[in-house]
Chain A
Amino acid sequence: MQIITRQEPGKPLTVTIEYPEYTESVRGIIKRIESLDIRFSAFSDDRRMHIAMSDVYYLENVDRKVFLYTGDDVYRLDASMQEIGKITEDSDLVRISRTCIMNTSHLTEIKQLKNSRLEAMLDNGERLIVSRKYLRDIKRRF
């Protein structure tokens, strides 16, 4: 695969993909690039904010309410985990437990603790518990 980049002043960021035939990996690349444009409409103190997917560290379902965590802030999201799962398919966001979706682009390490629980460490110092059941889904993102 060749990667060609060139600066075009005054033009919007454009990604052109050339392929000999449309395969699963091409579809995956397109979905991944499209996911970079995904923004979540979230609330902070009743103010609506648009959060880019790259800024999301993780999403958590607490008492049937979904919260979105960036590096420093927490927002409330009006969507179910299933809806988020569909939107973020083939993106860096991956389910790591029944109640949590993590952005793998902020993942720095996965550790197996002494009690054999799994822990994901994020680049802002946050630690999340990973269910063994979802470890394979995380692996597929790499």
Chain B
Amino acid sequence: MPVRKILKDTCILAALMILAVFTLSIIWSGITAEISLVLALFGLALIITVVNFLFDEYLSLTIVVSYIIKYFVFSGIVMLFGFIVGWFFPSNFWMAFIYVGVVLALAFVIDAFTVKRDIGYINEHIRKGNEQ
């Protein structure tokens, strides 16, 4: 699908641009506040990706239960990480639940749609193979 490929290539290109610009900025002017924010986001993304991988690899749960557990675990990670890097204070730590909730809700919708589409594709090919 060209739209999907364009979006994927855009994300890769954006990541490369950020990497190139930030590498040069670090060399010239050291780690500024903006750079440390992006580095912290990359670090948080890495931690969440690893935890998500371990979840999917070692736990066999239904999709709803899996997303509920992930919601609380990821919120906890974001909160802890936010406290460490200074994003959150005791007064606004609850915002982590909103941020994580929005991202997970989107991921849930995409996941449910993709799984349904992939199952349809596989079953259609099996059916065609049986007809031939």
How many residues on the B side are at the interface (Cβ–Cβ under 8 A)? 17
Task: Report the Cα distance A88→B41, complex, angstroms.
Answer: 38
Report whether A132 and B56 are in contact in the complex, using a CB–CB cutoff of 8 Å. Answer: yes
Chain B residues positioned under 8 Å from A142 (CB to CB): 121-122, 125-126
Encoded as 1 (CB less than 8 Å from any B CB) or 0, chain A from 78 to 122 comes to: 000000000000000000011000000001111110011110000
Chain B residues positioned under 8 Å from A135 (CB to CB): 115, 118-119, 122
Question: Which B residues, 74 to 132, have Cβ-Cβ distances below 8 Å to chain A?
Answer: 111, 115-116, 118-119, 121-123, 125-126
Task: Report the Cα distance A43→B57, complex, angstroms.
Answer: 29
Chain A residues positioned under 8 Å from B56 (CB to CB): 131-133
CB distance from B115 to the nearest CB of A (A): 6
Chain B residues positioned under 8 Å from A117 (CB to CB): 60, 62
A-B contact count (CB 8 A): 46
Known: A112-B115, A118-B115, A135-B115. A129 touches B60 (CB 8 A): yes
Task: Report the Cα distance A109→B63, complex, angstroms.
Answer: 20
Interface residues of A (CB under 8 A from B): 97-98, 107-112, 115-118, 129, 131-133, 135-136, 138-139, 142
If A110-B123, A116-B62 are given as contacts, then 15 extra A-B residue pairs at C-beta distance below 8 Å, sorted by A number, are A107-B126, A112-B116, A112-B119, A115-B62, A116-B63, A117-B62, A118-B115, A129-B60, A131-B56, A132-B115, A133-B56, A135-B115, A135-B118, A142-B122, A142-B126
Interface residues of B (CB under 8 A from A): 56-58, 60, 62-64, 111, 115-116, 118-119, 121-123, 125-126
